[in-house]
Structure formats: C-alpha cells, structure tokens
Amino acid sequence: MKIKNICILGAGTLGSRVALQAAISGYIVTVYDVEQKSLDFSLATMQKLLGQFHKSGQLSKGQEREVLGRIKFTLDPMEAVDDADFINESVTEEADVKKKVWRQFGKIAPKKTIFTTNTSYMLPSMFAEDSGRPTRFCAFHFHDVFYSRVVDIMPHPGTDPSLIPLLEDLGRKLNQVPVTLKKENPGYIFNTMLMALIGAAGKLLTGEVASIEDIDRSWMVNFHMPMGPFGILDSIGLDTAWHVTHKMPDRASVAFAALLKTYLDQGKLGEKTGEGFYSYPNPKYKAQDFVK
C-alpha cells in the first residue's frame, strides 16, 4: 500500500515536529487534538521551526507556504481520520488516556489505516487490543525528529510482520534512520542505554564519588560531546527523569530518585524552568573554560 495521508493524534511538541517533518516530506497531514489552544501551540511550534529552517537556508519562503498548505488542524475526530493511511499517536503519556484514544479512533478509522503509537516508555501491547485491530498496530517512536533522527519500530507479539518493511520505508521517507526491535522493550534501544548512563552518573553523584561538573566533564572531554549526563538530564527535564527513575527498585535508583525529588520540590525541572543541575540560559558546562 502507498501512504499519502498521515494523521497525528496529539498536538504537543513531539507530535507537532512529526507532523511538520511529514509535510516537509510531501505527505498530506492532519493534526488532531481535543483543545483549540493545543492546535494553536502546534502551529506556533511549526512556524518557529520553519523560521529556523528558512534562516539556515534549508527551506525557501515559498516552500514554507507549501509545507504549511499540506497541514490541516482539527478538533473533529471524523475529519482527523478521514482517508488516513497512517496514524501516529502522541497524546499524553498516560496509559488510560492512550487506551481511550485508541478505543475511539479504532472504531472510526478507515479499514486501510495503519495504527502506530509514539509512546516513549510504554509498550504497544498495552493499547493494541483497544484499537480493535492489533495486527495493524505497532510502536513508531521518534526522538526529536530534526536533530536526533532515529525512529524506533517496535512490534508487539501480534503485529503483522509485513508492516515492518513498510514502516522502515516510511521512516526513511520521513528523513529518519529506522531501527527495528525484535521484541517489546521499555525505552526501546536508545533510551535503555541513555538511562543506564544516567543511572551510573546518578550513582557517582549520590555516592559522593565526584561532582556534577567533573562527571559531565569526564563524558564531554573523552567523547568530544557538547554535554554530559547532567546537562542531558536538564534538557530532558528532571520531572521526566524522576518519573522513569522512581519506579526502579535498586538502591542506586532509589537514591537518585530521592535526589531528583529535592530538585522537583524546589521547582527546578531543568532547562525549561531555567534551573536544574545547571542555571540557564548560560549553563556552566557551555562556558569555554569548562573543559580546561
């Protein structure tokens, strides 16, 4: 089958970025959300990104208009899925919300539609049955679409295997590098490794082995990377990190979750609140003398 019409459920940051990339790649895109202010946010997010792409010479003003011309925003579920070949769901990361959305859209979507969830830490098998079409259901997970261009393709045990090559092809057309999981795994591939790195950094900190700065410095200098684990945590958001960490049973995770909680209680969630392990907009780790 040929994918032409893409429907994005959930007009948050990631959903908006996926929608924009899909329109840049030439697809007809419909963005659905339950509130008008979410759709307004989505359009503003896209316009800001297009402004950056224009500035860096990636897209002309004419191309910008064409791209936006391929995107429709709607509060109407029927309009959202009308003739959709492919749905990517990016609604709130709560199981009950996702289940409800899939029960609703599973009923009204055309027979041909492929169902995918963009969940970060849940598993497609949690929603596949709710959609009413488990064989057509798979996880299709983006990172940030434009800088980190990996798309994870993660089937659940009931996914029709013939969907996989189709999704790999779509991933490439969306300018992503597809990676395919052989089985379900919370956190896919990259987040599993990233959480291990962050867990080790957290253990070094809570075990009072080294300072935040020296831990980041070690990573940055040895790997020539622009940030270390605590800078990465600030950009992910300390609330998200706590959300993942506080359920882990091992002693190091418990200690690190407790430390994260002290930041959360002070409203320090990282870059987005201006304060986390570092202070923004000019965190210490970006200073020239940090790695000297």
Q: What is the pattern of x (binds a copy of itself, CB under 8 A) and - over residues 22-61?
A: ----------------------------------------
**Cβ–Cβ < 8 Å for 263, 238:** yes
Minimum gap (Å) between residue 223 Cβ and a copy of itself: 7
Q: Is 217 in the site for a copy of itself (CB under 8 A)?
A: yes
**Phi and psi of 159, rounded to 5°?**
-65, 135
What SS3 state is found at 5? Answer: strand
Q: What is the pattern of x (binds a copy of itself, CB under 8 A) and - over residues 157-176?
A: ---------------x----
What are the angstrom distances between the C-alpha of 241 and each of 97, 142, 238, 261, 292?
21, 18, 5, 10, 29
- Please select the residue that binds a copy of itself; options are 75, 108, 225, 258, rule is CB under 8 A: 225
Number of residues binding to a copy of itself, judged by CB under 8 A: 45
Site for a copy of itself in 84-143 (CB under 8 A): 143
Q: Which two tokens stand for residue 63?
A: 């191309």
**Cβ–Cβ < 8 Å for 28, 21:** no
When the beta carbons of 108 and 291 are compared against a copy of itself, the nearer one is 291
Q: Is 185 in the site for a copy of itself (CB under 8 A)?
A: yes
- CA 158 from chain centre, in angstroms, equals 24
Minimum gap (Å) between residue 204 Cβ and a copy of itself: 6
Minimum gap (Å) between residue 47 Cβ and a copy of itself: 26
Minimum gap (Å) between residue 267 Cβ and a copy of itself: 28
Q: How many residues does the chain have?
A: 292
Q: Determine the Cα–Cα distance for residues 178 and 176; give it in Å rounded to an integer.
A: 6
Minimum gap (Å) between residue 84 Cβ and a copy of itself: 27
What are the angstrom distances between the C-alpha of 267 and each of 6, 96, 232, 252, 276?
37, 27, 18, 23, 9
When the beta carbons of 110 and 226 are compared against a copy of itself, the nearer one is 226
Q: At a CB cut-off of 8 Å and minimum separation 6, what does 129 contact? A: none
Q: Helices (DSSP H) in 85-211: which residue ranges?
A: 95-108, 163-173, 190-206
- Please select the residue that binds a copy of itself; options are 86, 140, 188, 230, rule is CB under 8 A: 188
Minimum gap (Å) between residue 201 Cβ and a copy of itself: 6
Residue (of 61, 37, 36) closest to 51 by Cα position = 61
Minimum gap (Å) between residue 120 Cβ and a copy of itself: 13
Positions in the binding site for a copy of itself (CB under 8 A): 143, 147-150, 152, 172, 177, 179-183, 185, 188-190, 192-193, 195-197, 199-201, 203-204, 207-211, 214-215, 217-219, 221-225, 229, 291-292
